[in-house]
Amino acid sequence: MNPERLARIRQMLALRQPDLTVCMEEVNKSHNLAALIRTCDAVGIPEVHAVWPRRMRMHTHAAKGSHYWVKVERHETIHEAVGQLRQQGMQILATHLSERAVDFRDIDYTRPTAILFGAEKHGISAEALALADQDIIIPMVGMAQSLNVSVAGALILYEAQRQRQLVGRYAQSCQLPRVEQDRLLFERGYPVLARVCRMKHLPYPAIADDGSLLADDTWWQQMQLSKAAWQARQQDAAFGDEDVIS
């Protein structure tokens, strides 16, 4: 990893806002999902939450590489997703036109915040609305009553960014745990080595301040084994375990 790329990645990580996120409930168009993730990356959100079918795939062209930097946490139900967000102390906002809804700009986004977005056709479910603390709307004076979900997400998230910049949240020291910083640095700075690690189920090494890997000789020897040699070693180890058990 060259010094310029290392510096760029570290600068990006320093601006991440782990207490700001979105939760997409059955957003069913892959290009909208990708566009929302692209916006999340742009405003410094490191992780998003989604409740959608396992078969759903990312439209990576629309994401423009942002999916490499934003982790997607999938949930089986909206109750599971919101429960996890509440454990992190987040206020839960639902983008929904209702009598109790307020202008999205009237919300304090400097607080830990999760924003719920619903499916393009049906919007947010009744279950999700019951779990939210507040409904928010984007005021509209035309004939349409809603915006595309990715456009609405961009408007709201950039208002959140604006508020956080005003109070200096982007000027604070890096808020991401060091282990998460190292994961991103390794996966994106050393993508080939990361792929081999995942294939061999090896732990990622720590990364020094200069971007070099803090790995011992044993780790490097395991990494250098061919796929066939590694599989043979794993089989030998498995047979060895069986011998001990018998």
Question: Which residues does the annotation place in the binding site for S-adenosyl-L-methionine?
Answer: 95, 138, 147
What gap in Å lies between CA 117 and CA 73, rounded to an integer?
15
DSSP string of 27-90, one letter each residue: ---HHHHHHHHHHHHHHT--EEEEE--TT----HHHHTTGGGTSEEEE-SSHHHHHHHHHHTT-
Q: Which residue has the tokens 């510096």?
A: 7
What gap in Å lies between CA 8 and CA 186, rounded to an integer?
14
- Look at residues 134, 124, 126 and name the one whose alpha carbon lies nearest to residue 103: 134
Binding site feature residues: 95, 138, 147
Looking only at the bridges linking them, the beta strands covering 134-137 and 102-103 are parallel
**What is the torsion angle, in degrees rounded to the nearest 10, for the CA atoms of residue 50, residue 56, residue 57 and residue 59?**
-80
